[in-house]
Structure 1
């Protein structure tokens, strides 16, 4: 038998392997905290859209909502828009508290402020996707037309909105950490943003001069694409452009990454 005199080995890992381990550990930590620490967490994630849908269905009985939308039933149209908007909104809102909520972890040199932001937004996207599937299955059982006519387009629209949430979360995480008052302003903008994004009412009903300004908001562009994936004969809002959507989204992501790189020391010291 050969005698091999091997000295102590040092385990070397690539930067990607280290980052992947950090993300996995943080994901499990966030998942347990998000889903198990609050008994009412799942309830509120499902109850909020259900309550809003119920309110809007009640209002619809007075305004004849079906007559305002071309080639799409009102309730499924509203559900898809609401789920898509919540995906973007939660990415923006969850990103804001990610740095502050994980300050203790920055003592480890492997953990950077951007890590909890990306992990939180990814987890929130997974949860929102699961809730959306629950709504789709529940809607189909109730006889609603919630089966996508073009599943690939619907998934691409959903992933596009997810990426927009990532971009917003990256930017707001830095802004709210450096300027805490800005976080309060961003939170206050959530409801107006929902209204001007065409979640409840079709933007085509707006005057053309106003619609041109409303479509500068990237969210309606993504929501209309998502809806088109569910209703192939749906008439999207005039001015919808996924090219504009992706230019805006990629710019946001690049800006967020640059801000995290520029202010990394200040974020760790907050």
Structure 2
């Protein structure tokens, strides 16, 4: 029998973990798959209706619903990656009895599943908006993908940190989950930060999610103007730093994470 390479083992493990995640998320019933995709769709559409009624009109030259879509959908992806990774150790603990499976494999599998689900949701809502005459396309696809990748890297690093820290201090999980509620508003998901007073923006600029959302809007919406102080260098530095710290913490405690 031919000995498999390390890459082949990793590929097979990742494939099996992704299938396991999909089955666990969707369940054995078709309604499980429908609900998994429908829930974030209703989330985004619900906020679009509520905040659209409050604000009304257009933002940055586009319908407010489209403005919210290109802001909220990526933020939900980043949030879900970090929080799902935080829970992956407990959900897959029994699998670590197999020496081929490492905690990092479960992190990557959950990230891939979240990216796939977010893509499906984004396409469904974009097509729905186009059907009703609201242009929801991406103005600069390449730039948008690069910024999105930076956001995924940032969230993956956060997820690694959350998973390692909550492994020995599980009581802080509820605090981490609740912390994403104020991030909804401090990340300027529902409004352009350029409308805020300069004093408020100076504090919000410390939030990397704000930079992510602003550059995603810039690449997706034509004629959109980012707020003063938004920096691509800060965004990329935050993404690389988050990924470095997360992987460093994982490497430091990788043996403790394998306990059954």
TM-score, normalization: structure 1? 0.88
Determine whether 1:212 maps to 2:205.
no
Task: Identify if the C-alpha distance between structure 1 residues 11 and 192 changes in structure 2 by more than 3 Å, giving closer, same or farther.
Answer: same
Aligned-residue offset at 1:44 = 4.9
1:203, 1:237 within 8 Å by CA — same for their partners in 2?
yes
Partner of 1:14: 5
Partner of 2:255: 265
Partner of 1:77: 67
What SS is found at the alignment partner of 1:269? coil
Determine whether 1:57 maps to 2:66.
no
Unaligned 5+ runs, structure 2: none
Partner of 2:229: 239
Partner of 1:25: 16
1:87, 1:128 within 8 Å by CA — same for their partners in 2?
yes
* Number of residue pairs matched by the alignment: 259
Determine whether 1:87 maps to 2:104.
no
Task: Identify if the C-alpha distance between structure 1 residues 187 and 127 changes in structure 2 by more than 3 Å, giving closer, same or farther.
Answer: same
2:41, 2:121 within 8 Å by CA — same for their partners in 1?
no
1:140-180 deviation line (CA, Å, top 9, x unaligned): 11111201222222222332322222122111111121210
Unaligned 5+ runs, structure 1: 1-9
CA–CA separation in structure 1 for the residues paired with 2:204 and 2:129: 30
Aligned-residue offset at 1:228 = 1.5
CA–CA separation in structure 2 for the residues paired with 1:199 and 1:49: 16
Please identify, of 50-59 and 70-79, the stretch whose mean Cα deviation from structure 2 is larger. Answer: 50-59
Determine whether 1:47 maps to 2:39.
yes
2:82, 2:159 within 8 Å by CA — same for their partners in 1?
yes
What SS is found at the alignment partner of 1:189? helix
What SS is found at the alignment partner of 1:83? helix
RMSD between superposed Cα atoms in Å: 2.0
Partner of 1:36: 27
**Bigger-Rg structure (1/2):** 1
1:49, 1:82 within 8 Å by CA — same for their partners in 2?
no
1:250 to 220, 240, 247: 240
